[in-house]
Structure 1
Amino acid sequence: MNASVDGFTAPGFEHVAEAFATSFAHHHAMGAALCVRVAGETVLDLWGGTADERTHSPWTKDTISVIFSCTKGLVSILAARLAEEGRLDYETPVATYWPEFAKSGKATITVRDLLAHRSGLSAPREDLTFEDAVDWNMVTGRLARQEPLWPVGDGHAYHALTHGWLIGEVIRRVTGVTVGQYFQELIATPLHADAWIGLPPAARHRVAHLRAGRTLTDLVARQAAARSSGEIDWPERALTLGNAFPPELVTEEGGFNDPRAHAAELPGAGGIASARALAAIWSSTVVDTDGVRLLKPGTVADAVRPQAEGTPVFGGQAPLPRWGTGFQLPSLAREYLGPASFGHDGAGGQVAFADTTHQVGFAYLTNVMEAGTDQRATSVIDALRRTLRQHS
Structure 2
Amino acid sequence: MTIALSGTVAAGLEPVADAFAAAFEGRPAMGGALHVVVDGESVINLWAGTADARTGRAWTERTPSVVFSCTKGLVSILAARLVQEGRLDYQAPVARYWPEFAAAGKDKVTVGQALAHQAGLSAPRIDLTEDDIVDWHRVVAALAAQEPLWPLGSGYAYHALTHGWVAGEIIRRVTGQSVGRYFRDLIASPLGVDAWIGLPDDKADEVAHLQISPPLSALWAEEAAKSAPNWPYKAMTLGKALPADLVSEDGGFNKQRIRAAEIPGAGGITTAEALATIWSATVVPTRGVRLIDDATVAQATQTQSEGAPVFGGEPPYSRWGYGFQLDSAARRYLGDGNFGHDGAGGQVGFADPVRRIGFGFVTNWMMGPEDQRATQIIDALRPLV
User: Do both proteins adopt the same fold according to a TM-score greater than 0.5, normalized to the shorter chain?
Assistant: yes
* 1:102 pairs with 2:99: no
Q: CA deviation at 1:278?
A: 0.7
For 1:244 and 1:2, how far apart are their aligned partners in 2?
Answer: 39
Q: Is the 8 A contact 2:31 2:363 kept in 1?
A: yes
Residues 259-290 of structure 1, C-alpha deviation per residue, up to 9 Å, x if partnerless?
A: 01111000000000000001000000000101
Q: 1:316 corresponds to which residue?
A: 313
For 2:222 and 2:119, how far apart are their aligned partners in 1?
Answer: 29
For 2:221 and 2:106, how far apart are their aligned partners in 1?
Answer: 36
SS in 1 for 2:307: coil
SS in 2 for 1:8: strand
For 2:40 and 2:13, how far apart are their aligned partners in 1?
Answer: 15
SS in 1 for 2:275: helix
Q: 1:35 corresponds to which residue?
A: 35
Q: 1:167 corresponds to which residue?
A: 167
Counting only pairs closer than 5 Å after superposition, residues 228-243 of structure 1 correspond to structure 2 as 228=227, 231-243=228-240
* Contiguous gaps of at least 5 residues in structure 1: none
Which of 366, 382, 385 aligns to 1:385? It is 382
Structure 1 moving runs of 4+ over 6 Å:
none
- Report the RMSD for the aligned CA atoms in angstroms: 0.8
For 1:205 and 1:11, how far apart are their aligned partners in 2?
Answer: 35
Residues 35-74 of structure 1, C-alpha deviation per residue, up to 9 Å, x if partnerless?
A: 0001111000100100000001000111000000000000
* Contiguous gaps of at least 5 residues in structure 2: none
What is the aligned residue count?
Answer: 385
| Letter aligned with residue 214 of structure 1 | P
Q: 1:330 corresponds to which residue?
A: 327
* 1:306 pairs with 2:303: yes
* 1:263 pairs with 2:260: yes
Q: 2:360 corresponds to which residue?
A: 363
For 1:56 and 1:313, how far apart are their aligned partners in 2?
Answer: 44
| Letter aligned with residue 178 of structure 1 | S
For 2:384 and 2:345, how far apart are their aligned partners in 1?
Answer: 26
For 1:217 and 1:164, how far apart are their aligned partners in 2?
Answer: 24
Q: 1:282 corresponds to which residue?
A: 279
For 2:153 and 2:221, how far apart are their aligned partners in 1?
Answer: 33
Q: CA deviation at 1:360?
A: 0.5
| Letter aligned with residue 30 of structure 2 | M
Q: 2:56 corresponds to which residue?
A: 56
SS in 1 for 2:8: strand
Q: 1:246 corresponds to which residue?
A: 243
Q: CA deviation at 1:3?
A: 2.2
For 2:316 and 2:26, how far apart are their aligned partners in 1?
Answer: 25
Q: Is the 8 A contact 2:100 2:145 kept in 1?
A: yes
Q: Percent identity?
A: 60
Q: CA deviation at 1:131?
A: 1.1
| Letter aligned with residue 248 of structure 2 | T
| Letter aligned with residue 338 of structure 1 | G
Residues 284-325 of structure 1, C-alpha deviation per residue, up to 9 Å, x if partnerless?
A: 000010100011100000001000001101001011101000
